[in-house]
Amino acid sequence: MLVDFCLAYVGSRKAVMIACKNFRTQFAIERARYAAARGASLLMLMPPYHGVSLNADAPSRPDRFGRIADAAKIWVPVLNALLSSVTLTMSFLVRLAGEMPRFSYFNIEVPFAAAKPRTLTGAGGEAILGPYDGEEAITMMPHLDAGASGTIPGALLPDLLLPVIDHHTRGHRREAALPVVN
C-alpha cells in the first residue's frame, strides 16, 4: 500500500500527512486508524462526498469529523476545497476548532480565499493554530499577507517554498516575493 511505502521511506525524519477520505464514515475511520498506527503525523480530512451531486448534509459533518479524529488520535487538518462540492463556512470551521481540539489547522482552497485566513483566525482566536494556503502555492503570497501560516502544496518544491515563508514570517515581504535561484 502507498501509505506503508511513504511512511517507511520517510521514517521519523519528517512529519507525514495522509489524506483520509471516503464517503462512508466507518471506512474513513479504518483508514485513519491504519495511517496513525503506521506513523502518520497528521490526517487531512475533507467533507464526505461522492461526485458533485452526492454529499453529506451540514449537521452530520462535525460528528463525522470528530469520530475520525478520535479514532486516529492525531492532528487533523481540514481541507476546505471546491473538489468536494461541499461548502464549509467559516462559522463551521470555527465551531469545529472550538469544540474539537484536534481540529486547529485548515487548508483553504476556495475562491477568494486570500481574505479567509484572517477571518478564520479572527473568529476562532486561539483555537485556530494554522490556516494554510492550499492552491499548490500559486496563491501563497496573498494568503501569507492575509495571515496564513504557510502552504500545503503536496510535494511541490518544498525547498523553494520554505525560504519564501521564512522571509515573509520575518517581515521581509520583498525578499519573499523574489524568485529563489540556486
Run of H or E including 4:
helix 2-10
Q: What whole-number distance in Å separates Cα of residue 182 and Cα of residue 176? A: 15
Report the half-sphere exposure of 50 (CA within 13 A, side-chain side): 6
Encode pLDDT of 5-30 as tens digits. 989 998 888 888 898 877 788 888 99
User: Which CATH number does the domain 2-155 belong to among 3.20.20.70, 3.40.640.10, 1.20.140.10, 3.10.20.90?
Assistant: 3.20.20.70
Q: What is the mean pLDDT of the chain?
A: 84
pLDDT > 90 in the chain, percent: 31
Q: What whole-number distance in Å separates Cα of residue 61 and Cα of residue 46? A: 10
* CA dist list (Å): 61 to 11, 23, 64, 108, 114: 32, 11, 5, 17, 24
Q: Which residue has the higher pLDDT, 60 or 38?
A: 38
